[in-house]
Structure formats: structure tokens, C-alpha cells
Amino acid sequence: MSVVDRTSHSDLVLRSPPEAGVSKDGGRHTASFNHQSETGRIGPNAIIQTAEALRLLRGEWDARRVFAAARLEPYLATPPADMVDEAEVIRLHRALRATLDDDAARVVSAKAGQLTALYLLANRIPQPAQRVLRVLPARLASHALSRAISAHAWTFAGTGLFTARPGRPTTYEIRHCPLCRGQGADHPICDFYAATFETLFARLVHRNARAREISCEAIGASACRFVIDW
């Protein structure tokens, strides 16, 4: 999820690529990105940071249990360096919930999302761009950040369909969401995404930003929806 790579205000509002659709919805910008026609690939942090979160919170033994259940144990010794097949990410998140109890799985998933956002801030979003976002009014910063996230949604949503509606609150939606695909629950379970969005917004838009997943395909919703407010 490399979200910002330019430094001026106009450049921060990145142009959506040809596959993206842009429209006006109630005075708010809506950008959607759909790679369903292609093989789904997701950035390696979905695996690398889950391993790190497991090691930090649960120890090496549980990390090996989860990765073995997902048939991904070699990644613990040699983390992926490039985009991975979204099927591997789907297996990992299924294994996380199957191996650990629900509360533990949610905490690990959220920690992995937080670590992913911190990695992006340290390695993928240039510091000059971050400084520009931080001095913008929160509404403008949310539009700029959301536009950039939309343009790079294929790196974290895979074959899912991502839609962003910036503003206060900002709403993100992922249809055919890879993190909960094929799973059932009685509550939203895409804590990885919620924590990633919250950390980015708290660092770049408003320090009081909070993200909540208000609906999830795992509980029968038509899409996974996240609301970010401050």
C-alpha cells in the first residue's frame, strides 16, 4: 500500500489510474479500483507484519503454528520480497482465526495492520509529503490521502473492489474482501485494514483519528465498510 509519492498539494491528490472510476456522491469524491479481471496480488506486508505481530504478541511457537496451518511456514525464515498471491494472504488470515481464539486473532491482526502502516510511513511515504499532509486542514488531508490510497488499492485489496468516500467521516469499502473471504463470524473481523487506516490517518490527517469496521462480509454484509473520524 504505497500511498503518497509526491510533495506538492496538487501532486498529493494523485490521479487515479485508468482502471479507477471517479464520481461525485453527495458532494464527496468517490474513487473505486477494481482488479477483479487480473490475478490477485497483495503486498508482502500482509504476511511479513502478521509474522512480526505474532512473534511480538504470541511468541515464536504460535507464529509457527499459524504459518504451518496456512502452509506458509517457509516465509518465517525467508519473508516474501515481492507481491504475493492473494490466496496466501487469505489462507493466513483463516489460519490465524482457526489457530488462535477470536480475541487473540483480532489483536494480532490489528497489530499487523498497525505495523504495516508504520512501515509505510517509514519507507514508502516520503517525509516531505507527510509534512504537507500534516499541515493541511484535516478534510483536505483526508481527501489527498484517500485519493492516493485509492490509486494503490490493488496492492492491498487484491481482486477486491475498493471505494473511498473522503470527508468527515471518511468511509472506505471493500467488496469481495480478501481478509474475510469465505469466513463466517458474528462480528466484523477485518482488524488488519481498520488498524492500517487508523494509524495512517492518526499520523497524517488528525491525531485523534479512529477507524471502525461497521459492516463485514463475514457477517453477511454486501461489503466490508470502514468509517474513519476524528
| pLDDT tens-digit series, residues 77-118 | 999 999 999 999 999 999 999 999 999 999 999 999 999 999
Q: What is the pLDDT of residue 31?
A: 40
Contacts of 65 (CB under 8 A, 6+ apart): 99
- Percent of the chain topping pLDDT 70: 83
Q: What is the pLDDT of residue 13?
A: 31
Give me the residues paired with residue 229 across strands: 210
Residue pair 157/174 in contact (Cβ under 8 Å)? The answer is yes
Is 14 a residue whose pLDDT tops 70? no
Q: What is the pLDDT of residue 39?
A: 72
Whole-angstrom distance, CA of residue 145 vs CA of residue 13: 7
- Where residue 101 falls (left for φ over 0; alpha for ψ -120 to 50; beta otherwise) is beta
Q: What is the pLDDT of residue 88?
A: 98
Is 203 a residue whose pLDDT tops 80? yes
Q: In this predicted model, what pLDDT tens digit does every residue of 33-71 receive, in sequence order?
A: 444 445 799 999 999 999 999 999 999 999 999 999 999
Q: What is the pLDDT of residue 38?
A: 54
Task: Provide the pLDDT confidence category of residue 27 given band limits of 50, 70 and 90.
Answer: very low
Whole-angstrom distance, CA of residue 39 vs CA of residue 41: 6
Structure-model confidence comparison of residues 22 and 190, the more confident one:
190
Q: What is the pLDDT of residue 166?
A: 94
Is 176 a residue whose pLDDT tops 60? yes
Task: Provide the pLDDT confidence category of residue 25 given band limits of 50, 70 and 90.
Answer: very low
Residue pair 88/72 in contact (Cβ under 8 Å)? The answer is yes
Q: In this predicted model, what pLDDT tens digit does every residue of 119-169 receive, in sequence order?
A: 999 999 999 999 999 999 999 999 999 999 999 899 999 999 999 999 999
Instruction: Set out the domains of the chain in order of their start, with CATH numbers.
Output: 1-230 (3.90.1520.10)
Q: Nearest to residue 185, comparing CAs of 93, 116, 74?
A: 93
Q: What is the pLDDT of residue 141?
A: 97
Is 11 a residue whose pLDDT tops 80? no
Neighbours of 97 (CB within 10 A): 20
pTM score, two decimals? 0.85
Q: Rounded mean pLDDT of 10-30? A: 37
Q: What is the pLDDT of residue 215?
A: 98
Residue 24, classed as helix, strand or coil, is strand
